[in-house]
Amino acid sequence: MNPKKGIFEKTLLNVLIILAILFFLTPIFWLITTAFKYGRDAFAIPPQWFLFDFTLNNFKEVITETKVGLFIKNSLIISSGTTLLSLLLGVPAGFAIARTKSKLINTSSYFFLLLLMIPPTAMLIPFYLIVRDMGLLGTRLSVILLDTAFDASFVVWMMRSYFLDVPKEMEEAALVDGANQFTAFVKVALPMSIPGIIASALYTFIFSWNDFIFALMLTTTKTKTIPLGILASFSAVEIGWGRMTAMSIFAIIPAVIISLFLNRYFVQGLTFGATKG
């Protein structure tokens, strides 16, 4: 291989990677810088990317004039509840489908993939009526149940693919030693599938955290989530870009922290679970 050609290809690849990173990080950079700008500088022409008057007023307004703490609390409760319920339903279901010998049940797993293709708005009105009749309208539980209806389907599909890659021999050895199927699942399959479970949990948490349309239709003033708090920055008089971006930073901090801590498991779970199925 020509050494010069190899150096050129490597340099070109690095340049393309840098350009891709800059492309995806530009909106985040705009979001962060706008949160520290005065309103007059937010849309100055030419744009003031680096040299602008620094201020913390936007954050002060968000903390003192909005219920950002309540919004974050509601989002944490709803996202955590959705994640926990989705895992409790999806992980055992994924294992059962992966280990079944029935072709009919195995084929039915594509039903869960079909659920992910349905636009959420198509199911909003039926769920709204069901939640209303159950007396759960305006509660966090209503959003948790609706988010779980979608997120659990993803967990089932992903964990099915992941369990297909887990060696059956270890479970069979546990069965030979006297364990039943449930014990083999808890003590053998689950510990070996931790990366897949964490990847599913991270996806579910972020999806529920960013949910807007379900929270908009099913919550009240006391149960609003952080995406609805960001929406409150818009009014008939003006759009509070500084306040909106400041609250957006509060919204992305929890997801970023969780992603940084679980990123290794997330990548491992996605790559390992995608090799079969």
CATH (domain of 131):
1.10.3720.10
Which pLDDT does position 275 carry in this prediction? 45
Query: Could you give the CA distance from residue 199 to residue 273 in angstroms, rounded to a whole number?
Result: 10
Residues 20 and 143 in one domain: no
Which pLDDT does position 141 carry in this prediction? 93
Residues 225 and 244 in one domain: yes
**Residues sharing a CB contact under 8 Å with residue 21, sequence separation 6 or more, in sequence order:** none
Query: 16, 31, 55 — which closes off a domain?
Result: 55
- Series of mean pLDDT values for 10-residue runs along the chain (277 residues): 68 89 88 83 74 83 86 93 94 86 73 78 85 88 90 87 79 75 80 85 89 88 89 70 85 82 62 47
Residues 186 and 50 in one domain: no
Residues 62 and 17 in one domain: no
Query: 16, 33, 55 — which closes off a domain?
Result: 55
Residues 45 and 81 in one domain: no
Query: 55, 70, 89 — which closes off a domain?
Result: 55
Residues 20 and 118 in one domain: no
**Residues sharing a CB contact under 8 Å with residue 243, sequence separation 6 or more, in sequence order:** 58, 61, 62, 66, 233
- Total number of domains constituting the chain: 2
Residues 201 and 85 in one domain: yes
Residues 206 and 103 in one domain: yes
Query: Could you give the CA distance from residue 118 to residue 109 in angstroms, rounded to a whole number?
Result: 15
Which pLDDT does position 277 carry in this prediction? 44
SS (H, E, C) 189-227: HHHHCHHHHHHHHHHHHHHHHCCCHHHHHHECHHHCCHH
Query: Could you give the CA distance from residue 161 to residue 196 in angstroms, rounded to a whole number?
Result: 9
The whole domain housing 116 covers 58-273
Residues 38 and 90 in one domain: no
Residues 39 and 70 in one domain: no
Residues 239 and 127 in one domain: yes
Query: Could you give the CA distance from residue 191 to residue 186 in angstroms, rounded to a whole number?
Result: 8
Transcribe 97-110 into DSSP letters: HHH---HHHHHHTH
Which pLDDT does position 144 carry in this prediction? 94
Residues 34 and 75 in one domain: no
Predicted TM-score (pTM) of this structure = 0.82
Which pLDDT does position 270 carry in this prediction? 52
